[in-house]
Copies of this chain bind each other. A is one copy, B any other.
Amino acid sequence: MQKATIKDVSERSGFSITTISRVLNGNYPVKKETREKIMKAIDELNFSRNSSARNLRTKKSNLIGLVVADINNPYYSKIAKKIDDGLFEKGYNLLVCNTDESEEKEKRILSTLQDKDVDAIVISPAAKNIELLRQLTDAGTRIVLIDRNMGILDIPFVGSDNFSESKILTEYLIQQGHQKIMFVSGTDKAITAQDRLFGYKAALEENNLQFDEKNVVKGYYKQEDAYKNTYTFLTNNLKSDEPCTAIFSSNNLMTIGIIQAIHELNLRIPQDISLVSFGQLDSQEIIEPKVTCIKQNIEQLAKSTLEKTIEALDDNKSNIDSNIIRDSLEIGTSVKNLNK
């Protein structure tokens, strides 16, 4: 059974394809009676428009590309959900792409999205790939950066102030008497990873504490890597003269890996080692111990991203302002107060 085309509807209803198209688009006056007859034919033939043909003519795909490291990260899946919720009713669909933090894959994704003529791309870039984004905007594709800024002035950004929040979180640890703080870092290429590390460093410096490169462990924003590397690090570090008393995890996924490593080493949080996380754990309310963290305002982030995307799709409003979402320090029970 072949799909009915506008021509079939034309033949069945006796009107020209032009009129069918007008009924379909509803952007042109058509006699009521005519419309009804056509609607009937559409119904009987179970006709539905071919998007490819339509896109080809109109140069609009009604597709939004969402490019993130991993859709399996609740941080991103929440954004995905929100955008879909807000844009489905407007006729858009969401094309989800995972970079896996690979710069090379990101390139291929962006190229594919360009081929597919997506109307907009919402992206949390794996790397600072400015040229590619520029190419896309030149070709008319609207872009919204989330989570990871790139300092491109004419592209709107929605995300956290990673430097400041990270500094706040580190300062909290210092306040509680911690001086040797292990830092589990993200991917080198992500600007957030750099900013979070800078925030940590800045807090140390301001408190006259020595930054020690050896205490920085790479976790690549991945649970598994964080687990392995934390396990190895702690195994050695805890035997040393001045072991770390706390761990700073620079994202939610790695925090889980770190907790697993701590469990495996038969350590208790916070009695044996303290832990803070940049980014809350999903369903954190029911996790024991409650991890002290920078709680990212994901609801707000998702909402702003949706708004920015809608604006970006609107030819008349080209709002290129950035939107820095304020996060909050949420005190849990994962940090031991060493001052007592």
- Chain A residues with a Cβ under 8 A of chain B: 1-3, 46, 48-53, 55-56, 61, 63, 70-72, 74, 77-78, 80-81, 84-85, 88, 93-98, 105, 109, 111-112, 114-117, 135, 138-140, 256, 259-260, 263, 281-283, 285-288
Contacts and interface: CB of A to CB of B under 8 A. Distances in A.
Contacts of A94: 95-97
Quickly give the copy total for this chain: 2
Contacts of A263: 285-286
Contact of A115 (B51, B135, B285): B51
Nearest to A58: B52
Given A72-B81, A95-B94, A97-B88, A135 B286 contact: no
Contact of A283 (B78, B282, B285): B282
Given A85-B98, A94-B95, 12 more contacts: A3-B140, A50-B115, A52-B117, A63-B95, A71-B71, A80-B96, A81-B98, A88-B97, A88-B109, A93-B112, A94-B96, A260-B286
A128 to B, nearest CB: 20
Contacts of A85: 98
Contacts of A111: 48
A259 B74 CA distance: 19
